[in-house]
Amino acid sequence: MVRKKLIIGVVAIVLLFGSLYMLQRLLMPKYVSGIVEGSLIGEYYKDSRKDFDVIFLGDCEVYENFSPVTLWEKYGITSYIRGSAQQLIWQSYYLLEETLKYEKPKVVVYNVLAMQYNEPQKEEYNRMTLDGMELSPIKLKSIQASMLRGEHLVDYLAPLLRFHSRWDQLNQDDFTNLFDKEKLFHNGYYMRADVKPAGRVPRAPRLPDYRFGSNAYSYLDRLTELCKKNGIELVLVKAPTIYPHWYDEWDTQMEQYAAAHDLTYINLLKNMNDAGIDLQTDTYDAGLHLNVYGAEKLASYFGAFLADTYGLQDHRTDETWSGIWQKKIDFYDRMKQDQLDELAKYGYLKRYKVET
């Protein structure tokens, strides 16, 4: 009798937690069409081999502006972009901490645009970075650093509590991607093949204070220390996109920081001509982000710097790596062609992004 009750109890508990787990999987946003950027962070874990030479960290200025496939094709550099939408510097720091559990890259490239944010900004962006991370003490620390006033840790740890009311927004994507999501990115690179030339960008408003905040600096310090401690070269970059505005005062601070900490800082806005980037053809949104043509040019230019400065090995003669990257190249080429076909047919990217 006791045994029977015990079995019933165990079954009930398993059923309860199983149901909750299923419900959570179903109700969480899938980010597989339209706003796909929420899938960026999670895709990293699926990569079978993770000993990359270079890890990029940062916001859209990394995941839309550098093509890892080009870095491979031209220099045999293996790289991965651990970027996400409006990734804040503490999120970048914790992502690197987490990445070091899997691998130790030779170079980390951090895009400094997010230095302008000294405190958490928006839950929706937090979600796109944090929900994609695997559960670990590092994720907990990142959540705690990122939460806005009024938010609770438990809402991030059990997203069902946050998304339980999403039941009336469920669509086919939620069911077809219940257990596994289709691959959308290219080692963290978000491809766009459309073109929207840059025109005149808005005037930059005057700011009350141009100094980056102490919290942002403290995480930049920690990022620097973490890299030094692990023998990793840290490179600070500002991607070559013209809007939002990158103030001279911000640039000076990054130059000074790099000099004080023996780091390299490259403002790629100043290297656009050398990289051959033409914002009439190489951006898909009038200068906010590069399209695939721009990302390839930038990777081609920046890859030469990486290879020369840090003596990164050309892995193209490595059969294992070559096999892995060939599959990535095939996927990359297929997606590019698919996007070009869509552009020819509809005039915009129908499947990859909502019409704008």
Partner 1 sequence: MKKASIGLIALLLALSGCGNKPAEEGAPSPNALTQTEDGATLPAASVMPEQTSGDSFVFEANGIAIPMHAEATPILKQLGTPQSYFESQACAFPGLNKIYQYSSFDVYAYEKDGIDYIASVILFDDTVATKEGVTLFNKKSDVIKAYGDKFTNNLNLYVYDQGKSQLRFVIENDQVTSIEYLAKI
Q: Would you tell me which residues interact with partner 1 (CB under 8 A)?
A: 8-9, 12, 15-16, 19-20, 23, 29, 34-35, 37-38, 59-60, 85-86, 113, 116-117, 122-125, 127-128, 160-169, 199-203, 205-209, 243-245, 285-286, 288-289, 354, 356
DSSP helix/strand/coil, 158: coil
- Please, how many CA atoms are within 13 Å of residue 34, restricted to the half-sphere of its CB? 5
Tell me which H or E stretch contains 265.
strand 264-267
The minimum distance between CB 160 and partner 1, in angstroms, equals 6
Least CB distance from residue 174 to partner 1, whole Å? Answer: 10
Distance in angstroms (rounded) separating the CA atoms of residues 224 and 220? 6
Q: Which is nearer to partner 1, 78 or 111 (CB)?
A: 111
CB 265 to partner 1: min, Å: 20
- Residue 59 CB, shortest distance to partner 1, in Å, is 7
Q: Which is nearer to partner 1, 15 or 153 (CB)?
A: 15
> What is the rounded (10 degree) CA torsion for 340, 343, 349, 350?
-110
Partners of 238 in beta bridges: 267
Nearer to partner 1, 209 or 274 (CB): 209
Cβ–Cβ under 8 Å, residues 83 and 56:
yes
Shortest Å, Cβ 248 to partner 1? 15
Distance CA 128, CA 155 (A): 14
Whose Cβ is closer to partner 1: residue 38's or residue 303's? 38
Q: What's the closest the beta carbon of residue 129 comes to partner 1, in angstroms?
A: 11
Q: Compare residues 162 and 328 and give the one whose CB is closer to partner 1.
A: 162
Instruction: Name the residue among 60, 76, 45, 157 with its Cα closest to residue 324.
Output: 76
159: which residues sit within 8 A by CB, 6+ positions away?
Answer: 24, 27, 28, 131
CA dist 158 → 113, 143, 164 (Å): 31, 12, 10
Cite the DSSP H helix spans in the chain: 2-27, 40-43, 60-63, 68-75, 89-102, 123-130, 137-146, 153-157, 160-163, 172-176, 214-229, 248-260, 272-275, 292-310, 319-346
Q: How far apart are CA 105 and CA 233, in angstroms?
A: 9
Q: In terms of CB distance, is 49 or 211 closer to partner 1?
A: 211
Give 38's DSSP letter.
G
Residue closer to partner 1, measured from CB, 74 or 127: 127
If the CB atoms of residues 8 and 259 are measured against partner 1, the closer one turns out to be: 8
Least Cβ distance, residue 13 to partner 1 (angstroms):
8
Report, in Å, the least distance between residue 6 CB and partner 1.
12
Reading the block at residue 67, the tokens are 């093509």
Residue matched to tokens 């050309």:
314
